[in-house]
Amino acid sequence: MSAIPTLDLAAAATVCPLCDVTRKPRAFQKLFGVPVCKKCFYKFANRRQLAYIIDLVLLYVLSFAFGAVLGLVFPELFISPPDQFTLLDGFWLVFNWLFVPVVFAMKDGFRGYSPGKWVCGVQVVDQITREPIGFLQSLKRNLILVIPITPLIIAFTLAKGRRWGDKWAHTEVVWKRYRFKAPFDRRGILCMKCGYDLTGNVSGRCPECGTDIPAPPRSAAPLVRPVIAAP
């Protein structure tokens, strides 16, 4: 397993672990604590932002289509007497402020993909196991988006890797194409939980936070099929 590059500002050039291009040290930014070139850094952030916009547009289109169909089939659903809170008003209140936000927050649950993430080639995985997340973890990481203004703050702060909601849900977004490369897969090099440098660690456990470290692959003997003698 190759070591994670560190940013040596005195060095003339550093290789980006994602695109393998050699660039000047000042052309690097840290993603999940690992230096990557600014080009890859912003490309990844832009993919995540675009994925969110696609999901949001899809949500608007779907709710509009749903409302339109409902209005055509049951026109009386949209006519309620003014100055009076009816059962129908209650239904719309719950629908718009509870049902729709919860469904939207579960969007990354299709094996780590929302429609937008699938299009943009990014996926949400569990921070430690690196397995794609399901609906519950998606709900956990996205519920914060329901609060007004937070999507805007997240849009400007997600570039460094983990965003609000990721910490609570123990999730990370990976660039599908580079999912087995650092900084997305840092297993055995840095602690996946706290980022501690595990170089030379033999205990199998992070000395900082106690998280188990996957053992490096043993140089196993080649698989040999048993030879069955012909009768």
Q: Around 173, how many Cα atoms within 13 Å sit in the side-chain half-sphere?
A: 30
Least distance from C-beta 10 to Zn ion, angstroms? Answer: 21
Say how far apart CA 206 and CA 4 lie, in whole Å.
17
Least distance from C-beta 48 to Zn ion, angstroms? Answer: 16
What single DSSP character describes residue 11? S
Least distance from C-beta 110 to Zn ion, angstroms? Answer: 29
The continuous run of DSSP H or E covering 171 comes out as strand 171-175
Say how far apart CA 136 and CA 109 lie, in whole Å.
7
Query: Nearer to Zn ion by C-beta: 145 or 169?
Result: 169
Euclidean distance between the first and final Cα of the chain, in Å? 46
Instruction: Look at the chain and count its residues.
Output: 231
Query: Nearer to Zn ion by C-beta: 130 or 193?
Result: 193
What single DSSP character describes residue 110? B
What single DSSP character describes residue 141? H
Query: Nearer to Zn ion by C-beta: 215 or 230?
Result: 215
Tokens of 158: 């997600």
Query: Nearer to Zn ion by C-beta: 131 or 208?
Result: 208
Residues forming contacts to Zn ion in the complex (CB under 5 A) are 16, 18-19, 37, 40, 191, 193-194, 196, 206, 208-209, 211
The continuous run of DSSP H or E covering 30 comes out as strand 28-31
Least distance from C-beta 155 to Zn ion, angstroms? Answer: 22
Query: Nearer to Zn ion by C-beta: 111 or 177?
Result: 177
Say how far apart CA 79 and CA 57 lie, in whole Å.
27
Query: Nearer to Zn ion by C-beta: 147 or 194?
Result: 194
Least distance from C-beta 130 to Zn ion, angstroms? Answer: 15
Least distance from C-beta 29 to Zn ion, angstroms? Answer: 10
Say how far apart CA 71 and CA 89 lie, in whole Å.
15
Q: 36 with 183: CB under 8 angstroms?
A: yes
